[in-house]
Structure 1
Amino acid sequence: MNETQNLPDTRPLFLAALAQVTPLIDGLAASDLDRPTPCSEWAVRDLLSHLVAVEDRITHIAGGGKPFEVPSVVDGIADADWSDAWHSRIAPLEQAIADDALLGRTWAHPAGEMPGFQAIAIYASELAVHAWDLARALGRDDQLNQEIAEAVVGPMTGALPAEPRGAEIGVPFGPVVPVAPDASAYARLVGWVGRDPEWTPQS
């Protein structure tokens, strides 16, 4: 029996989280790029630079590379080219994770070595959170899929402890922001990773 048949296939969730980002980027105006985001010290332009780098990094890691061989931001993309930069990386990324054997293969994730299905799930969570960051910065929360957040919030709360946290100890998340038990999936997700679900560009 193929051992990958016994592993959870986290790729559909990842691809859904990836696809959720696309219309947010496609709908950008030049005037949006300097808007603040919930990510401390990042404007929309900086967040886009990181998102494109995440595409590059996942493709690189899926091919057997090390995460820090790829920078966490991409420089040199013109303001008019963010959509093209994002789209140009989608097909190579999809191809990189197409092999079922990758689910059980060890990946060199920034958080440590782990099986591919787990690394892909973590990246789904990262994309889901950054989709909220971007949507909230743009005032486009109505484009977010709560089902994606619901699918990742449980694994995220299980994998990311409430404490200790801090970039200085290698856990680059802020303190948990408490939310009501009946809060939306997205509010629970971003609150757990240290975002204020009530953040607005005027905060």
Structure 2
Amino acid sequence: MRTTDPRPLLDRATAQVAELIARVPAERMADPTPCTEFDVRALLGHLVAGVRAAAALGETGERTGLVPAADVPDDGWAKAYEEGRERLLAAWADDAKLEAPISVPWGEMPGRAYLFSGCVLESATHAWDLSIALGGPVALDEELAERALEWAHRFLPAERRGEGVPFEPVRPAPEGADAYGRLAAWLGRTV
């Protein structure tokens, strides 16, 4: 696996999510997503909570957990996400943070690994979820999905599913599926 600086990928992944969030019309908030635990509104809340928590971790080195984004009105998701995204990118700008150990629910790891697993993988996966919920798929950054899938294959193998793992068993991807479809299937979504 390539061990490069994840921040350029993080910037692209969160920019892609921001663009998708800006496209969500108010009347689609209750629509289902391929991530069965979330409708569109709940997915937006999860995404905003995620960038806020990742920003706080970068700022303090301490995990705050995902605090539901209940403070965001339906017409404020794009602004809330962009503010969280900017804070996230600024919080991880210091190169030293890439090697500093951090503790997250799935273990202790260097900041670099967290940004790949907790942020790039999460953003790429939920970008697909949101694009499908909006009637997509819309054109998404294939390299991001390829890198996220590479990471998922390495650190979320098929045999590591079950109790305590927030992913369903691996499902088959349709023949000819793009990188996002293969990533979604690997994480247990029906493609």
TM-score of the pair, normalised by structure 1? 0.86
Q: Give the gaps of 5 or more residues in structure 1.
A: 1-6, 198-203
Question: Aligned runs of 1:27-176 on 2, under 5 Å?
Answer: 27-67=23-63, 69-122=64-117, 123-166=119-162, 169-176=163-170
Q: Give the gaps of 5 or more residues in structure 2.
A: none
Q: 1:37, 1:86 → 2: CA distance?
A: 18
Letter in 1 for 2:43: L
Q: 1:191, 1:72 → 2: CA distance?
A: 27
1:186 aligns with 2:180: yes
Aligned length: 188
Q: 1:32, 1:161 → 2: CA distance?
A: 34
Please say if residues 64 and 107 of structure 1, whose CA atoms lie closer than 8 Å, have aligned partners that are also in contact: no
Q: 1:72, 1:116 → 2: CA distance?
A: 21
Q: Deviation string for 1:66-125 (max 9, x for gaps)? A: 43x233521131111111111222221111010011111112222111011111111201
Computing the radius of gyration from Cα coordinates, the structure with the larger value is: 1
Letter in 2 for 1:105: A
Letter in 1 for 2:106: A
Letter in 2 for 1:139: G
Letter in 2 for 1:184: D
RMSD: 1.6
Please say if residues 59 and 93 of structure 1, whose CA atoms lie closer than 8 Å, have aligned partners that are also in contact: yes
Residue number in structure 2 paired with 1:23: 19
Q: 2:59, 2:161 → 1: CA distance?
A: 30
TM-score of the pair, normalised by structure 2? 0.92
1:9 aligns with 2:8: no
